[in-house]
Amino acid sequence: MSNPLLGHDAASAGGPAALLAWSQSLPEALRGVVERVERIWLPASTPPWTATPIALRGGQSFSVFASGRVYWSATDSAQWAGPRHHLWWRVGDGPVANPTQDHFTARADRDGPLALSLLHGFWKDESGVLATSEHAYRHLRGGVEAIVVVWSGDPAAGLAAAETASGGDPAIRAERARVADPVPVPEGWRYLLETGTADVYRATDTPHGPGIDVHAANDQGILRKPIDLPLEPDTRLRWRWRLDEFPSALAEDTVTTHDYLSVAVEFDNGRDLTWFWSRCLPPGTHFGCPVRSWTHREIHYCVRSGQTGVGTWQREERVIAPDCEEALGEVPTRLVAVWLIVVSSFQHGVARGAFSEIEVGTPRAMERVL
């Protein structure tokens, strides 16, 4: 077996075995259910879009089963992410979208060719134009193999037929279950385009009212809710949270250990300040995000540390302007959004917790966010 850091290893790329075979010869039982199956290799070092031979009709459904790894370092094999973190797609000149798992099913919103991408950086907008440099791709190794199944009709019926024909392939079974029970985005919130959609947040009820559960297994996600408030000297953020499992046992201020759970506010100047609970850093510690492209944009501020209180609800309150002065070196003029952030993908661990009772404003008028 070849070293996956050096490039594509067809033998180890993976993917459902049945689907790999079907890309060569479709079983008789699936004819009339499956229109075509294509196997697409996406090299990690190719920015950003790869054309496929698939032309879709508006309203037509397709599923993608992806496997592989994108390695960010030529020397450290722990620095990688899979399809869930890098794979995106679009039909024709339509908007970009990403899967919430390594497998997904979608419906074309227009006629056009299907294109796939491994994103390493940020999109300029939903058109699929990079906002970051293509040079960032040059040091990447590995890649992702995508098996694309184009359905003739209803994808749920197609997945059921494919699961039977495959003898119960686990990936097909998992996608069938995901389609039957998708994770809805909590009402009023939206995933940040820069980090893509995920399945890590779920609306729930808590002892303190409506809340949002967080469960990220080797995953990440930033949930955003718009607000519009002036940042006054006594403007504050209040929230309750329950941290059940730390995603990092190490200090979160390095790029290889930057796994954490936090709540943040976004300002009108494009920057954000995010308050997190650290396993070991002392309260008051603050630093620019160790991910290079986020360093100036996002500042992290530790408000709680250690195991005390883990698994129980804790209430926090921060006066925002003094924290901005201390950590950002400036005091912006307006608040434009509240974020929930979870990352467990750098060390490939698990983060679990919940949020409730988030509100922002002055003592004279507080606005409920959650």
pLDDT in tens, 309-324: 999 999 999 999 999 9
Confidence of residue 15 (pLDDT cuts 50, 70, 90): low
Supply the range of the domain harboring residue 176.
Answer: 4-180
Is residue 17 over pLDDT 60?
yes
Distances (CA, A) of 8 to 45, 70, 116, 199: 11, 10, 17, 28
Mean pLDDT of 71-86: 94
Identify whether the C-beta of residue 213 lies closer than 8 Å to the C-beta of residue 241: no
Whether residue 71 is found in the same domain as residue 139: yes
Domains in the chain: how many in total?
Answer: 2
3-state secondary structure of 5: helix
Question: Smallest Cα–Cα separation from 40: which of 55, 28, 23?
Answer: 23
Same domain for 81 and 47, yes or no, is yes
130 in a structural domain: yes
Q: What is the DSSP string of 300-314?
A: EEEEEESSTTTTS-E
Read off the pLDDT of each residue in 53-69 and give the average, rounded to a whole number.
Answer: 97
Same domain, 22 and 130: yes
Tell me which of 133, 150, 180 is where a domain ends. 180
125 and 29 share one domain: yes
Per-residue pLDDT at 53 exceeds 50:
yes
Q: Which residue has the higher pLDDT, 139 or 12?
A: 139
168 sits in the region (left: phi over 0; alpha: psi -120 to 50; else beta) called left
* pLDDT at residue 341 greater than cutoff 80: yes
Within 10 Å of residue 195's Cβ, how many Cβ atoms?
Answer: 17
320 with 201, same domain: the answer is yes
Q: Are 275 and 262 in contact (CB under 8 A)?
A: yes
| 261, 353: one domain | yes
Which whole number is the average pLDDT over 250-275?
Answer: 98
The pLDDT confidence band at residue 1, using thresholds 50, 70 and 90, is: very low
Residue 12 pLDDT > 60? no
- Phi/psi zone of residue 311: left (φ > 0), alpha (ψ -120 to 50 degrees), beta? left
State the pTM of this model: 0.93
| 119 lies in some domain | yes
Q: What mean pLDDT is predicted for residues 227-252?
A: 98
Domain match, 214 and 111 both: no
